[in-house]
Homo-oligomer: A and B are copies of this chain.
Amino acid sequence: MINAVILGAGNVATHLFNAFQETENIKVVQVYNRSKKKLAYFEKNTPTTSTISEIVEADVYIISVADDSIGSLSKKLLFKNKLVVHTSGSVAINSISKNNHCGVFYPLQTFTAGKKVDFKTIPLCIEAKHNDDLLLLETLAKSISESIYKINSEQRKALHIAAVFVNNFVNHLYQKGEEICKENNVSFDILKPLIVETARKVAELSPINSQTGPAKRNDLKVIEQHLTDLNTIAQQDIYTLLTKSIQDTHGNKL
């Protein structure tokens, strides 16, 4: 049995808490949050506190707060030589105060408030400086997920940037697609099966091998027509740059 304290009450903290509640190997002995208000959700199931000095003894302390606050919160902790980890993709392991052992427990997924997630399929990226700590994080991870990766801070930084491309930027392209549909009075619903299939395909085929479309086949007539038909400069700029990047990647220079 691993006793854990969660520090933070946001999206990731809540989803982790829920996942830990469903396993017998982990007991969340306390949830800490600076503001009392957000602790209401947890109070029914575990002790909570908004006072640093009241934080209880545990095997691992999981800081799940905004990236900017991880370092400062870790410095305020009054105990020493315990394992303190954060859950961020972009913060280095060394941001955690040297008063304690440091580690990272980074679930690489997009979390929506109020929507239950199945942690089993969520990749957990773990990192620690001491082998004992890494083993503890591995046990912790295995109790909720089937997909565990030992990743150092440099690799995690790269993963986080790649995630910006395949999540944030991809979602923005979905939004541009919806915008184009609205401007032309067609239902965005028609595109949703294509969106899901495009994502699903990545599981089977490297994206470099499944690229299709006018840019890939260097169909200059269609490209020119599309640019003429687009309504906004923002849409045209994105179309031009990504078309050029696909052409460069696949050896079809203009």
**Contact assessment for A249 and B193 in the assembled complex, using a CB-CB cutoff below 8 Å:** no
Chain B residue with Cβ nearest A205: B112
B165 touches A177 (CB 8 A): yes
How far apart are A209's CB and chain B's nearest CB, in angstroms? 9
A154 touches B184 (CB 8 A): yes
Chain A, 221-248, CB within 8 A of any chain B CB: 222, 225-226, 229-230, 234, 237-239, 241-242, 245-246, 248
Q: How far is the CA of A116 from the CA of B216 in the complex (A)?
A: 23
A190 at the interface (CB under 8 A from B): yes
Provide the residues of chain B in CB contact with A215, threshold 8 Å. 168, 172
9-residue interface stretch from A14-22, A28-36, A73-81, A194-202 = A194-202
Within 8 A of B (CB), among A130-160: 147, 149, 151, 154-155, 157-159
* A23 in contact (CB, < 8 A): no
Question: Which B residues lie within 8 Å of A213 (CB)?
Answer: 164, 167-168
B110 A201 Cβ-Cβ under 8 A: yes
| CB–CB A123/B159 < 8 A | no
Which B residues lie within 8 Å of A200 (CB)?
196, 199
| Closest CB in chain B relative to A39 CB, distance in Å | 24
Residues on A lying within 8 angstroms of B by beta carbon are: 67, 90, 108-110, 112, 115, 121-123, 125, 147, 149, 151, 154-155, 157-159, 161-178, 180-181, 183-208, 210-216, 222, 225-226, 229-230, 234, 237-239, 241-242, 245-246, 248-249
24 A-B contacts (beta carbon < 8 Å): A90-B225, A110-B197, A110-B198, A157-B229, A159-B181, A159-B191, A161-B180, A161-B226, A162-B177, A162-B180, A163-B194, A164-B214, A166-B173, A166-B194, A168-B246, A169-B239, A169-B246, A170-B170, A175-B249, A176-B245, A192-B203, A196-B202, A196-B203, A238-B241
